[in-house]
Amino acid sequence: MAFTLYALIQTAILFTNAIAVLHEERFLSKIGWGAEQGVGGFGDEPGIKAQLLNLIRSVRTVMRVPLIAVNSVCIVLLLLFG
Amino acid sequence: MIADVDVAVCVLEPEVRMRGTPMDPGDPSLLFDDTSAGGNRHEHSGVGQGPDVYPGQALLSHPMSNLAMAYGSSLASHGKEMMDKNLDRFVPISKLKYYFAVDTVYVGKKLGLLVFPYMHDNWDVSYQQDTPVAPRFDVNAPDLYIPVMGFITYILVAGLALGTQNRFSPEILGIQASSALVWLIIEVLAVLLSLYLVTVHTDLTTIDLVAFSGYKYVGMFVEVLAGLLFGRMGYYLSLLWCCVSTFVFTIRTVRLKILSEAAAEGRLVRGAKNQLRMYLTMAIATAQPVFMYWLTFHLVR
């Protein structure tokens, strides 16, 4: 299977875009994956679901601005080079 | 004849001095042997017999050219320092040096362990004041030399295999290399993600994971080589053997890092946490034979 590094970069951008697009109020709270539902208590071990929700929330917060830049660059490059 | 050597040494002198300045006295001596004793000797012999009259000397002893040489050497050393500092921020070079501090005995023993891990008893990594010992002193420590060399050998053997089937072209090598590299990156990212989700507090760094995932390239190129030499039967036999030994090797190495103390010694420890970690170890170990088959079966016809 011929996987190039360029395909990996494309996959990473698409995945990050997908995570960033999940809306907090309209979608995540409706299916029980909202930010406040992840905090279980002050036990020592957050479960897998809490870790996953934390991960989604932090990816959305951190990658919002860089994704704007990366997506703009991608759009320009795809327009220029097809 | 001796005067020739003196002039050559005088010309070399500024460069030797330049290379000498940014070296830390204590830093590389622990990992690598110090082989710079030869250079110091040459420098001393040149200083004593410098001002012998020679036609080329007139240009070198001019004051402006001395100034220019000194300025040039200081500029070069300043540029080298800045580049080192900036490079160190992105690629941790000092940490990488630890993974390449190997010697022949270690490589031999580790390769033997990769192919036959069943007789080895003690898989603990020994520590020295809270930092792991360099690989040359401990067989169980992970290193990056074998994975890198195994990767390169795998690419070369893949090219050889494709060549014997008349499917070779120079781009194929690049495609194979980037394909294998991409799968390695995906695997390391998947392991990192699952380690984060299961909240395992280990001292496994990313480079350790790259090293553990890279050990399967040794098995892969043995398989392709056997497939070349002995046909499909040889490929399947060596596939079976290498997959099982890489599986056992990975389990025994990773288990100590991920599981808690008691479970790692083999005693049955109840509890959902340890069970999850055991599943994670099994998943990591199972991914190795899967990749070993996936990345080699199209090379052997």
Query: What is the ipTM metric for this complex?
Result: 0.81
Q: What is the pLDDT of residues B59-96, one digit of tens each?
A: 666 778 888 888 888 888 888 888 777 766 666 777 78
Mean per-residue pLDDT of chain A:
81
pLDDT score of B12:
45
Of the listed ranges A14-23, B127-136, B191-200, the least confidently predicted one is B127-136
pLDDT score of B42:
44
Total of domains in chain A:
1
pLDDT score of B32:
65
Please tell me the distance in Å from A48's CA to the nearest CA on chain B: 6
Could you say which residues from 177 to 216 on chain B have a Cβ atom under 8 Å away from some Cβ of chain A? 178-179, 181-183, 185-186, 196-199
pLDDT at A73 over 90: yes
pLDDT score of B13:
45
Determine whether the interchain pair B197/A8 forms a contact, defined as Cβ–Cβ distance below 8 Å.
no
pLDDT score of B24:
45
Which chain B residues are closer than 8 Å to A48 by Cβ? 197-198
What gap in Å lies between CA B47 and CA B70, rounded to an integer?
Answer: 17
Determine whether the interchain pair B182/A46 forms a contact, defined as Cβ–Cβ distance below 8 Å.
no
- Predicted confidence band at A69 (pLDDT cuts at 50, 70, 90)? very high
- Predicted confidence band at B19 (pLDDT cuts at 50, 70, 90)? very low
pLDDT at B128 over 90: no
What gap in Å lies between CA A23 and CA B222, rounded to an integer?
Answer: 50
Q: Which residue matches tokens 């002995």?
A: B230
Write the DSSP string, chain A: ----HHHHHHHHHHHHHHHHH--IIIIITTTT--STTS---S-S---HHHHHHHHHHHHHHHHHHHHHHHHHHHHHHHHHH-
- Predicted confidence band at B44 (pLDDT cuts at 50, 70, 90)? very low
Please tell me the distance in Å from B110's CA to the nearest CA on chain A: 30
pLDDT at B31 over 80: no
What gap in Å lies between CA B258 and CA B39, rounded to an integer?
Answer: 47
Structural domain boundaries, residue A19? 2-81
Which chain B residues are closer than 8 Å to A2 by Cβ? 175, 179
Tokens of B117: 């891990």
